[in-house]
Chains A and B, each alone.
Chain A
């Protein structure tokens, strides 16, 4: 056999500046280095509640921006260098192209730093990640969407996407619960919609409040009066961990098939790509196999609910 002596140890480079010239497709973009955030500019900031703010962002590089396509239910990892990186659901509909909106609660270090930023500031974005809601599959059916608290952030992407293609869907029912009237997000939009004939809106707050004349009670209260065409309905749930068990049960009681009840899970996340292990439940990665799971899948994951 011919000798192929290699030169004494040299230094190789995992990646050069060159390999990072933005490639054309989303896959190529990821292949270069999936950990690399891309610069995005904050183009608008809308305070929603005391703790939550809506940020609109635009990826700066043209080719990366054009390659970026998301589906309702997916998330991005948002970086502020020197502070850290956090997973945040995309709150805007894919039909709003060129920009993405995220709705962020001030919860800790990174989310606070984000709240301190101004219009025009730069953040890092990578993604989109995760398994989305089955938007195409839902077409031609009734949809029943239930959100609690911050759960409205990812569901809003689905809601707005359905809105933009409203004729493709049958009956659309949205149940949204917040603790207090002040914590209702996108209140104006939803109050307007509650008068529309093509959306059944059920807005509720946990406890009676002087400024509130609408429904009071948990989101499960809505199910007492809801009429559900079980064979023709897709359900989607997003909210705090305690909410799932109760809402799922209500949906199942109405007769919706387990594989048509979808929910989005939240777990600690670091990588977003099925590797760091933080989001693991049972044999699944919430970041990769989820965050959206159907009830059947969730039941089969040890420790999911």
Chain B
């Protein structure tokens, strides 16, 4: 990896540079927290944030998108073009970068690659930014506290400088044009290590690491714990909406008012929604909240490792805030930690 250093006061020039050439997306302050949004004024960009309400997922998988247009009369497709803009998403934290890497496994490096996702991914630069964890952050437990891949460039703040790792030539050329990047010195690297250690030390130590979670989830599949969570769940699917790695969707047809033409639409869906596993004839394979909530966590923390070798939670903590019923991975980790301790006879 190539490393360069810039001064923090060069940041606005860099942002302006990206703004000139791309649709520019960055965190801004909103009523209830921070959100990723299209920004055209560099002073609106807020880089000192812990987390945003929703993740950059929406720029790759819009909550609703048209897959194709058709004539219902002829029962034939008439249009499958989709507009995609070259974009920069600026100030993305490691958990969200790793979440995109997880989505790549499902949408890109998959048996049937998804052209809509891939085109957006190919035309979007990801500019990563270091952060300090808040009380609900536990990315460190899943190894997603560092973005080892998936960003075009990653900026680690060290004092009044940024040390930047460069992955793509496209991001690098913008940096070259709008800033005055220097080679990293030994002093910079020392600062880098110091910053990393400082972050590591700042994680909430009450959130346990459960090494054997996969086995535990299989063993306690029928535990009362899931009934308790199920009873609390409101099936609102807020957890899935804010989650940067939840990728499930629905496909449905919507006719134009004239009834002649229509769109085939893909929209976000969630395994916490009651009809998710319902089939014609009325059988529901996950017919209650207990089964649905359990499935969500099973898939996040265990199931996805069985198919893709990674956990599907990146520890961003968004659902911890979003779920009004207090159902979240931290609770689940704590439960299994307790169960483990009980078995150990502590």
Contact = CB atoms under 8 A, between A and B. Distances in A.
B222 to A, nearest CB: 11
A22 interface: no
Contact of A273 (B87, B112, B116, B303): B112
Contacts of A270: 249-251, 269
Interface string B257-289: 001001010000101000011111101011000
A150 to B, nearest CB: 10
Interface in A2-59: 2-17, 20, 30-37, 39
Interface centre among B20, B107, B281 (most CB of A within 10 A): B281
A282 B84 contact: no
Given A1-B173, A3-B176, A276-B251, A30 B262 contact: no
By secondary structure, the B interface counts as mixed
B22 interface: yes
Contacts of A303: 285-286, 291, 295
Given A11-B85, A36-B68, A266-B279, A280 B302 contact: no
B75 A278 contact: no
A124 B75 contact: yes
Nearest to A2: B173
Interface in A175-233: none
Contacts of B183: none
B96 to A, nearest CB: 20
A302 B306 CA distance: 11
Contacts of A98: none
Nearest to A5: B21
A13 B81 contact: yes
Contact of B269 (A15, A17, A278): A278
A33 B74 contact: no
Given A268-B277, A268-B278, A275 B295 contact: no
A275 B112 contact: yes
A17 B78 CA distance: 9
Given A12-B119, A82-B70, A303-B286, 9 more contacts: A8-B20, A11-B83, A13-B83, A81-B253, A123-B75, A267-B277, A268-B277, A273-B112, A275-B249
List 9 tightest A-B contacts by C-beta distance, closest first: A283-B306, A277-B248, A82-B72, A107-B280, A273-B112, A14-B82, A283-B303, A34-B112, A81-B70
Interface of A: 1-17, 20, 30-37, 39, 79-85, 107-108, 111, 121-124, 241, 266-268, 270-271, 273-278, 280-285, 288, 302-303
